[in-house]
Amino acid sequence: MSQPPIHAPIPELYVSYESAQKLKVEAGELPSWDLTARQVCDLELLMNGGFNPLKGFMSEEDYNGVVDNMRLSDGALWPMPINLDVSEKFAEGVEEGQDIALRDQEGVILAILSITDKWVPNKSHEAEKVFGADDLAHPAVNYLHNQAGPVYLGGPITGIQPPVHYDFKGRRDTPNELRAYFRKMGWRKVVAFQTRNPLHRAHQELTFRAAKEAQANLLIHPVVGMTKPGDVDHFTRVRCYEAVLDKYPQSTTTMSLLNLAMRMAGPREAVWHGLIRKNHGCTHIIVGRDHAGPGKNSAGEDFYGPYDAQDLFRANQADIGIEMVDFKHMVYVQERAQYEPNDEIEDRDNVTILNISGTELRRRLREGLEIPEWFSFPEVVNELRRTSPPRAKQGFTVFFTGLSGSGKSTIANALMVKLMEMGGRPVTLLDGDVVRKHLSSELGFSKEHRDLNIERIGYVASEITKNGGIAICAPIAPYTATRRSVREMIEAFGAFVEIHVATSLEECEKRDRKGLYKLAREGKIKEFTGISDPYEAPTNAELVVDTKDVDVDHCAHQVILKLESMGLIKG
């Protein structure tokens, strides 16, 4: 059997332009699902062949095989469940054997899904198998339990049009566009570099070495779909990549953006990245230390060992169909003024080894400290400084949570006055009662409505933070998951400082300024926090204050000291 020509096109799921125009009209009559940001990323890679051999969202049989042993029902290797998760309400209205239209956030129809399977997955089992632990500290496990819909749909996809991207259009390539480029350039070997962080000098050294080792051309292939909450936004990252591209030889290096929603699944993610890069025409992929690791678990330990991803990749390399270039940790040797693999430095006792971790880099940016030239390129540092100025110049949110009557509003008001006295940034107080009047007048006090109210507060606070102001919020906010989603919303733009006003229930009930506890005890107020509805106390708030026998001024001053120690206000 003759080999297919190198970089031959791979199958896509799109229909012809003529059929698409016709289908678009017909699909207007179908029930439609509005895709989430993550689902849009998944759908795009299904349609353009990035997720080949998948022909759509997985059937229940494929899903079970993938979760349990990384295999589709036909035996093909695939490590990541790709399903359309929907709400119970939507699922009730659709049946197997039915077509539905899939729309983007603006309502444009991107594809038709022919439903073959509908089921309720065991998400804890999925978390254990795919991510290694059912632990909410993992961003994808948190997504699975707190954001993804409870029902999965599976079935083949008919692609009508790709999602629209208004940014960096010229840098986005489908697998077939990249394959055509490699064909045209005569590149037979291509090594992919997967990244979700800005590139510094160590990465450049690592990519140069990898290309040399594999005697291959280099594809810098950063993820611009979804990465880990708190990562540098992709606009900044792409500007950083563009600043560094000049440092690479143009004839042997190219860059393309990948609209992938990462799961941060470590070992399985590495295998998945390999399959995706093979579909894009690459022959090699760089897998580094702790590839796609999400950081620490609830016990404060790393989710995955530093080389687990390399081990799993190596074990499945033949089935992935692409070679791994494994990389050790690169560090800077001052005396030789160069980067070297950490475990190959024989004279390590006689030389000075320098290294700056991601955490240390963020600290230096936050505090406006020097970032040495041996570590990164001045152009990259300039870009990063533009988007993350020192903390004392950024917006931030102070979020008080505690029982009704604990003293949240009183301390929040005192804090607001103290911050306004200092000046420098506009201050907005989003107090529970004020918000209920202006933002949430139509909401009741059911769990769903409370969550909605807190998410609205979080949204407004994130906008204030993004624009360099200070937001002070003082809702009860009884639920952990909702506070976490607000934290993630805000930490994309600045600091989130959670203050748990830990005044005890009996103290709050003793005060009962508004007479609410009395009514709740009499059963006249349903779902009252602390009486008939739970309050989930924060376990890792930035500050805990108790207002019993302490004056308000002292509590507000404790908050000011905390903000100073975090570098958010100048002492």
Secondary structure (DSSP) of 101-160: EEE-TT--EEEEEE--EEE---HHHHIIIIISS--TTSHHHHHHHHTS-SEEEEEEEEE-
Q: Which helix (H) or strand (E) covers residue 23, if one does?
A: helix 17-27
* Residue 343 confidence (pLDDT): 84
Residues 180 and 323 in one domain: yes
Give the separation between CA 528 and CA 221, rounded to whole angstroms.
51
For residue 285, tell me if it sits in a domain: yes
Give the separation between CA 339 and CA 355, rounded to whole angstroms.
10
Of 264, 291, 20, 282, the closest CA to residue 127 belongs to 264
Domain boundary among 130, 159, 188: 159
Give the separation between CA 189 and CA 284, rounded to whole angstroms.
7
Residues 118 and 186 in one domain: no
Which domain does 153 fall in, by range? 17-159
CATH number, domain of 82, equals: 3.10.400.10
3-state secondary structure 156-209: EEEECCCCCCCCCHHHECCHHHHHHHHHHHCCCCEEEEEECCCCCHHHHHHHHH
* Residue 519 confidence (pLDDT): 82
Q: Is 49 annotated as a binding residue?
A: no
Residues 65 and 23 in one domain: yes
* Residue 4 confidence (pLDDT): 56
Q: Is 432 annotated as a binding residue?
A: no
* Residue 2 confidence (pLDDT): 47
Q: Is 523 annotated as a binding residue?
A: no
For residue 377, tell me if it sits in a domain: no
Of 404, 411, 389, 420, the closest CA to residue 494 belongs to 389
Give bridge partners of residue 430 from the DSSP assignment.
473
Residues 511 and 552 in one domain: yes
For residue 436, tell me if it sits in a domain: yes
Secondary structure (DSSP) of 343-407: GG-TTTTTS-EE---HHHHHHHHHTT----TTTS-HHHHHHHHHHS--GGGS-EEEEEE--TTSS
Residues 39 and 110 in one domain: yes
* Residue 194 confidence (pLDDT): 92
Residues 115 and 87 in one domain: yes
Of 359, 329, 376, the closest CA to residue 201 belongs to 376
- Position 333: which residue type? V
The 3-state DSSP class for residue 559 equals helix
* pLDDT tens digits for range 6-32: 788 999 999 999 999 999 999 999 999
For residue 369, tell me if it sits in a domain: no
Q: Specify whether the CB–CB gap between 543 and 559 falls below 8 A.
A: yes
Residues 194 and 318 in one domain: yes
- Sequence-distant (≥ 6) Cβ neighbours of residue 17 within 8 angstroms: none
Residues 419 and 511 in one domain: yes
CATH number, domain of 511, equals: 3.40.50.300
The 3-state DSSP class for residue 514 equals coil
Residues 399 and 425 in one domain: yes
Residues 180 and 287 in one domain: yes
Q: Is 571 annotated as a binding residue?
A: no
Active site residues: 195-197
pTM above 0.75, yes or no: yes
Is the alpha carbon torsion for 95, 101, 103, 107 positive or negative? negative
Q: How many CB atoms lie within 10 A of CB 526?
A: 12
Residues 214 and 114 in one domain: no
- Position 249: which residue type? P
Q: Is 441 annotated as a binding residue?
A: no
For residue 349, tell me if it sits in a domain: no
Q: Is 87 annotated as a binding residue?
A: no
Q: Is 73 annotated as a binding residue?
A: no
Give the separation between CA 259 and CA 225, rounded to whole angstroms.
4
Which residues in the chain land under pLDDT 70? Answer: 1-5, 571
Domain count within the chain: 3
Domain boundary among 331, 360, 382: 331
Residues 150 and 180 in one domain: no
For residue 382, tell me if it sits in a domain: no
Spell out where 469-546 has E strands: 470-474, 495-501, 543-545
* pLDDT tens digits for range 310-356: 999 999 999 999 999 988 788 899 999 999 988 889 999 999 999 88
CATH number, domain of 245, equals: 3.40.50.620
* Residue 571 confidence (pLDDT): 66
- Sequence-distant (≥ 6) Cβ neighbours of residue 297 within 8 angstroms: 133, 135, 137, 138, 303
For residue 455, tell me if it sits in a domain: yes
For residue 358, tell me if it sits in a domain: no
The angle subtended at Cα 133 by Cα 226 and Cα 152, nearest 5°, is 60
Domain boundary among 316, 331, 346: 331
Q: Is 408 annotated as a binding residue?
A: yes
